[in-house]
Amino acid sequence: MKKTLNAREASLLALNRIEDEGAYINLALSDILGTQQMDPRDKRLAAEITYGVVTYKMTLDWLISQAANRPANKLDKIVLAVLRIGFYQLFYLDRVPESAACNTTVELIKNSKKRGLAPFVNGVMRGALRNKETFPWPSREDDEAAYLSLKYAHPQWLVSRWLSRFGSKQTEDLLLANNNAAPVSIRTNTLRISCPELIATLKEQGVKAVPGQVTPEALIIEGGGSLTELAAYRSGYFQIQGESAMLTSRVLDPAPGDRVLDGCSAPGGKTTHLAQLMNNQGEIIALDIHAHRLALVESNCRRLGVDIVRTQCMDVREAAGELGFFDRILLDVPCSGFGVIRRKPDLKWSRKEEDIKKLAKVQKEILNAAAEILKPGGVIVYSTCTNEPEETDEVIKAFLSFHSDFAVSAPHSYLPESWLNSIGKYGIHLYPHIHLMDGFFISRLQRGSN
């Protein structure tokens, strides 16, 4: 009979995949938890520990180094993974008793190929427990970037950038927000059901949903559970999507009958939202450079009952002369992703500062290429799930300097009144610590009609 995994064993498997194979945290967890017969509470704890370890990895390694009296990266790989799980519970999970954090960590190593190192793991855990309050944290007064970096587990180069741009308080608020779980939001598929009907349907299926804060089709889910296993999901009544992403499609504001290009479409959340706003009338060409990701777009279209989307494996930079002209173009461009760290904590460890400049070059090329295939009077919405200036305002500024027939069109009508002061010269910046949504930049560019 197949052994049932407990929460910490499942978390260890997921963390090993993330470290060894470069797997995305959500996919690693989904694969492991989806194939195991586990108590739902164990699944939730496994997910919480895994996300927590990845979120605080740098700080956990520093703490482990202090307690073990040797650099964390000199420890055996499996021992380090096990200690990260133990230290996360010890330092960040209040509801797990300290004794349970220690005991389960020792059991975890005993059940591995490195069971002979159980006494070492036990000693490190007990030492950390004894010295929990006396670790030599950096002084904020001596080096604020180092202090905030270690306290909130973000790369120091990124913290330094934000300190110079936002100052101490805003930076600390942003770091704190990035370490808190993002709300789970869904987009009602109004092609098939209304929001009130979906709220009632979800209630019947044991899920509480309340209206979102900005877009009319958004619902916030209260409580956990796997939404993709619900009958309402399989019936195409909703799409799991962040509200910032929904706002992007709203700002583009396509009309029924329009010809629309989604230049970077996979996995199809925005593509299908555009179709919904068009009442499934018109034409949407959905591009992506990865065929396997376009399959996700097609799958979402089928599930949601969208039939006006045509996918094409193509780089939007090569679309001129190939696809004709469009009324509306959405460019949710590849970016550093720092606005969604709370959903994807692994990306803050994989990104480097030099990536920002490389990405900005690609973003400018994409935007310039899209301008060549936009009709007079048409609209391009350029969006990123990051707020770094090189990828946002500076891209739009450079674009406008070469395209005098374009102007930024402020998205006033799509925003709550209290957010209007967030609209800058080149677009709107959304932040998790201010707007309680994913960090996003959205710029609406209107072409003159002549």
Query: pLDDT tens digit string along 9-66?
Result: 999 999 999 988 888 888 888 888 888 778 888 888 999 999 999 999 999 999 999 9
Instruction: Evaluate if residue 81 carries a pLDDT over 80.
Output: yes
Q: Is the peptide bond before 345 cis (omega within 30 degrees of 0)?
A: no
Residue 295 lies in a domain: yes
- Could you confirm whether 385 is annotated as catalytic? yes
302 with 424, same domain? Answer: yes
326 with 200, same domain? Answer: no
Query: What would the mean pLDDT of 58-77 be, rounded to a whole number?
Result: 94
Query: What would the mean pLDDT of 224-229 be, rounded to a whole number?
Result: 81
Identify the CATH number of the domain in which residue 218 sits: 3.30.70.1170
47 with 105, same domain? Answer: yes
Secondary structure of residue 382 in the 3-state scheme: strand
Instruction: Evaluate if residue 1 carries a pLDDT over 60.
Output: no
Dihedral pair phi/psi, residue 319, rounded to 5° = -85, -20
pTM passes above 0.75: yes
299 with 317, same domain? Answer: yes
100 with 198, same domain? Answer: no
Give percent of the chain above pLDDT 70.
Answer: 99
- Total structural domains within the chain: 4
387 with 264, same domain? Answer: yes
- Active-site residue, selected from the candidate residues 195, 264, 301, 385: 385
Helix ranges (H only) for 291-392 are 291-304, 347-350, 353-371
266 with 397, same domain? Answer: yes
Residue 137 lies in a domain: no
- Give residue 248's domain range: 243-447
For residue 244, what are its two tokens?
């910032």
C-alpha distance from residue 416 to each of 196, 215, 385, 428 (Å):
21, 10, 20, 12
**Rounded Cα gap, residues 238 and 227, in angstroms:** 10
Instruction: Give the residue among 242, 229, 268 at the shortest CA–CA distance from 342.
Output: 242
Least confident of 39-48, 86-95, 262-271, 388-397: 39-48
Burial (CB count within 10 angstroms: exposed 0-12, middle 13-18, buried 19+), residue 352 = exposed
SS (H, E, C) 61-81: HHHHHHHHCCCHHHCCHHHHH
For residue 233, what are its two tokens?
């999901």
Mean pLDDT of the chain: 93
Which helix (H) or strand (E) segment holds residue 310: the answer is strand 309-313
289 with 396, same domain? Answer: yes
Where would I find the beta strands (DSSP E) of 145-258? 184-188, 208-211, 218-222, 238-240
Instruction: Give the residue among 114, 158, 133 at the shortest CA–CA distance from 67.
Output: 133
For the segment 390-444, what is each residue's pLDDT rounded down to a tens digit?
Answer: 999 999 999 999 999 999 997 777 788 888 888 899 999 999 999 999 999 999 9
Instruction: Give the residue among 244, 325, 303, 308 at the shortest CA–CA distance from 274.
Output: 308
Interior/surface letters 75-84, b for 16+ CB within 10 angstroms, e for the rest: beebbbbbbb
For the segment 310-351, what is each residue's pLDDT rounded down to a tens digit?
Answer: 999 999 999 988 999 999 999 999 999 999 999 999 999 999
The band of 179, judged by pLDDT with boundaries at 50, 70 and 90, is very high
